[in-house]
């Protein structure tokens, strides 16, 4: 074979091979999706049907992980009962999902903003714009956990659709070194993050409609898992009673009306009594319900609630 031809082959083909087989091409979430290879040639209705059909497969992927989600809820309940914290950590879309769930817990369940927290790579700036290089900063992941003094009473949930995010993996590894309970949520089975967590939740959502765009099915799966974990944990901790959010913080007129409606439904009193008792209870729905059901004044009802650890089912 002529030397010039050997050089041309050496120059061309190995380079092409390297370009076509990047390390992440083996990740299911990065694969092209056969269902959407012609999506850019479709009309709007067909595009939407394709996306919806793919999204419809996500609940089954999440359902397959219910045993692991249950273990995660048990770990969160244990941590919060002993005064620990639930801390979400992630980058990009995964990080924003954690921030959203953490932000919604205090007004929904009446807990402290310190009880459920979220840490996102790149800090607050990453909430409204992409800070893509932040996910590669493993030192920042360790530093952010150290800053929050993560310890044995806490549970840290690492979110990474790919399961390979250096920032999140480092944060989980640090949390584990501090004897915190660790949970990984990813959409790629066997990915590195699963080796850093005691509990791994892996809804295998597969290829996205837009290859690699894990803001789609993978994000939907992560959102489902997060609200299952936080809601189930809060139910077990007594912040929900008979399906009502009795821990709600009525901070505006809409929520005050909702709180009154909850009190009316649980106790059977009319709106005026519910509103008056809610005011006497300083807008604490559980306290107002306890006052009405037991006939106790505010102080006595508050003592009952403390003994019941805030759980209305434990009050006769």
One-character DSSP codes across 48-113: HHHHHHHHTTHHHHHHTTHHHHHHHHHHHHHHHHTT--EEEEESHHHHHHHHHHHHHHHHHH---T
The percentage of residues in the chain with a pLDDT greater than 90, rounded to a whole number, is 84
Q: Is 47 helix (H, G, I), strand (E, B) or coil?
A: helix
CB 160 within 8 A of CB 168: yes
Q: Write out the residue limits of the CATH 3.40.50.10490 domain(s) in the chain.
A: 58-236
CATH 1.10.8.1080 positions along the chain are 253-314
Residue 27: pLDDT band (50, 70, 90) is: confident
Task: Give the residue among 81, 103, 232, 86 at the shortest CA–CA distance from 159.
Answer: 86
Q: What integer best gives the mean pLDDT of the chain?
A: 91
pLDDT interval class at 192 (50, 70, 90): very high
pLDDT tens for 42-85 read 999 999 999 999 999 999 999 999 999 999 999 999 999 999 99
Question: What would the two tokens of residue 156 be?
Answer: 């840290």
For residue 145 the two structure tokens come to: 């956990």
User: Annotated catalytic residue: which of 104, 196, 208, 265?
Assistant: 104
115-141 pLDDT per residue, tens: 999 999 999 889 888 877 899 899 999
Quick one: pLDDT at residue 6? 43
The residues, ordered by sequence, that sit 6+ positions from 238 with a Cβ below 8 Å of its Cβ are 308, 309, 310, 311, 312, 313, 314
- 208 labelled catalytic: no
For residue 25, the model assigns a pLDDT of: 53
* CA–CA distance, 202 with 207 (Å, rounded to integer): 14
Q: What is the CATH number of domain 58-236?
A: 3.40.50.10490
CA distance 290 to 305: 8
- pLDDT at position 24 is 55
Distance CA 201, CA 27 (A): 16
pLDDT greater at residue 7 or residue 251: 251
Candidates 135, 196, 208, 257; catalytic one: 135
Q: Phi, psi at residue 76, to the nearest 5°?
A: -65, -45
Backbone angles phi, psi at 199, to 5 degrees: -125, 130
pLDDT at 221 over 50: yes
- In the predicted model, is pLDDT for residue 154 greater than 90? yes
pLDDT surpassing 50 at residue 21: no
By DSSP bridging, strand 86-90 and strand 155-159 are parallel
Mean pLDDT across 15-31: 57
Partners of 156 in the beta sheet?
87, 182
List, in sequence order, every residue forming a beta bridge with 244; answer none if it has no partner.
241
Q: Give strand pairing partners of 241.
A: 244
Hey, what are 108's tokens? 């929904």
CB within 8 A of 239, min separation 6: which ones? 109, 110, 111, 245, 246, 247, 310
Structure confidence at residue 140 (pLDDT): 95
Write down the CATH number for the domain with range 253-314: 1.10.8.1080
Q: Residue 307 contacts by C-beta under 8 Å, 6 or more apart in sequence?
A: none
Residues 95-111, mean pLDDT to the nearest whole number: 96
Specify whether 135 is catalytic: yes
Mean pLDDT over 246-258 rounds to 93
Q: Which of 32-36, 99-103, 232-236 has the lowest mean pLDDT?
A: 32-36
């Amino acid at each position: 074979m002529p030397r010039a031809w050997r050089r041309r082959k050496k120059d061309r083909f190995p380079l092409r091979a390297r370009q076509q087989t990047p390390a992440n091409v083996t990740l299911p979430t990065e694969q092209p999706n056969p269902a959407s290879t012609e999506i850019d040639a479709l009309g709007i209705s067909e595009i939407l049907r394709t996306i919806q059909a793919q999204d419809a497969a996500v609940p089954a992927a999440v359902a397959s992980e219910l045993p692991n989600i249950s273990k995660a809820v048990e770990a969160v309940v244990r941590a919060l009962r002993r005064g620990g914290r639930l801390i979400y950590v992630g980058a990009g879309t995964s990080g924003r999902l954690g921030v959203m769930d953490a932000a919604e817990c205090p007004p929904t369940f009446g807990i402290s903003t310190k009880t459920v927290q979220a840490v996102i790579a790149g800090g607050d700036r990453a909430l409204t714009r992409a800070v893509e290089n932040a996910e590669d900063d493993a030192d920042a992941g360790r530093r952010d956990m150290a800053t929050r003094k993560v310890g044995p009473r806490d549970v840290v949930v690492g979110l990474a659709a790919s399961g390979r995010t250096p920032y999140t993996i480092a944060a989980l590894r640090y949390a584990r070194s501090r004897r915190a309970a660790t949970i990984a949520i990813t959409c790629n089975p066997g990915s590195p993050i699963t080796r850093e967590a005691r509990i791994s939740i892996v809804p295998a959502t597969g290829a996205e409609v837009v290859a690699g765009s894990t803001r789609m099915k993978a994000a939907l799966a992560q959102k489902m898992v997060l609200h299952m974990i936080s809601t189930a944990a809060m139910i077990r901790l007594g912040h929900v009673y008979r399906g009502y959010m009795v821990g709600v913080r009525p901070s505006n007129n809409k929520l005050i009306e909702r709180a009154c409606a909850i009190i009316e439904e649980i106790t059977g009193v009319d709106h005026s009594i519910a509103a008056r008792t809610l005011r006497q209870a300083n807008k604490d729905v559980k306290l107002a319900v306890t006052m009405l059901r037991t006939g106790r004044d505010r102080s006595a009802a508050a003592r009952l609630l403390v003994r019941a650890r805030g759980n209305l089912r434990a009050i006769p």
